[in-house]
Structure 1
Amino acid sequence: MNAGPDPEVPFRQTGWLGLRARLFHLYFLLRRPMTLGVRGLIYDRASNSVFLIRHTYVPGWQLPGGGVEVGETLVEALARELAEEGNIALAAPPVLKSMHFNRRASNRDHVGLYLIEAFSQTAPKLPDHEIAEADFFPLDRLPEETTPATLRRIAEVFQGGQTSAYW
């Protein structure tokens, strides 16, 4: 698929300036590396429920998601994680609701939270080596073991709570 000429070409630095820019980028990557993750708040309007997962290696019910791999966009990572953790496919672009600093994970981790209302689930998610359980839960009957961060994100989106900068 050819989208035509790249409009960014006139803004690319070449020669010494381009090399210098790439060297600075490498320096900052080594000096201040950052990790990036995504989480999906999958909402089924018909049942007023959200999709949660329980991992085999950490306690509590939480929103599906994971790390953004090199060369991957946030939405690509989200689509991959939803397929892996819930057999869920996006039917429309997700909506970025917020970005959070996840200082509990590390001093360099950030997480993007997306709201997904247009999706399909190809099959119920069966337990595997990573996911112990996965299911939809009504907003008024979330599992008792839902993580505090998950409860905060749900409240921010559905109850108009103030969005925290922290996960």
Structure 2
Amino acid sequence: MTEPNPAESFASARVASGVLFFDTEGRILLVRPSYKPGWDLPGGYVEIGETPVQGAVREVQEELGIKPPIGALLVADWAPATGEGDKLLFVFDGGELAPEYRDRIELEAAEIAGYAFHDPELVDTLLIPRLARRVKAAIEARSQSATLYLEHGETYRGALPN
């Protein structure tokens, strides 16, 4: 008889990192991926051997052609998706994107069709619901100089379900 392998029951999540950048007017930077509809944060999946912040830096450089400083973690979101399995998504603070970086943005056409700064109040109309919740939580975390833990984009308040 073969002994069961306890590791088979461990979560094996995909990890992705995004960055929340602002302009001088407080609008957030969103990118329009060329491979899917709608808007998104700059970022993507973390590769083997990378930390989440290293993945964020690499993805921003690949998508936008710039390497601005990346700040503190704003949000960690446990958000499994049907058909995609377990996911752990991070959002880091990119702060106000300085003109020397904004002026040097060069899109990776194979991945990014466009970018624009948007009023944060429009995230519900621009982003899919789970991403909109995550971005709003990241904006809240930034305003509080905090890090928030989310589940499916909802702030976990410490109450376990029945």
* TM-score higher than 0.5: yes
CA distance in 2, matches of 1:131, 1:81: 11
Q: 2:76 aligns with which of 99, 122, 130?
A: 99
Match of 2:59 in 1: 81
Q: 2:132 aligns with which of 151, 154, 167?
A: 151
Match of 1:64 in 2: 42
- The answer for unaligned runs of 5 or more in structure 1 is 1-23
1:35 counterpart = 2:14:
yes
Query: What's the CA shift for 1:60?
Result: 1.1
Match of 1:19 in 2: none
1:150 alignment partner AA: L
Q: How does 1:104-143 map to 2 (within 5 A)?
A: 104=81, 106-117=84-95, 119=97, 120-121=101-102, 123-126=104-107, 128-140=109-121
Give the number of equivalent residue pairs.
Answer: 139
Inter-CA distance 118–144: structure 2 relative to 1 (3 Å threshold): closer
Query: What's the CA shift for 1:159?
Result: 4.7
Give yes or no for contact 2:20–2:92 (8 Å, CA) kept in 1: yes
Give yes or no for contact 1:127–1:133 (8 Å, CA) kept in 2: no
Give yes or no for contact 1:75–1:94 (8 Å, CA) kept in 2: no
Query: What's the CA shift for 1:82?
Result: 0.7
**After the TM superposition, which parts of structure 1 deviate over 6 Å for at least 4 consecutive aligned residues?**
none
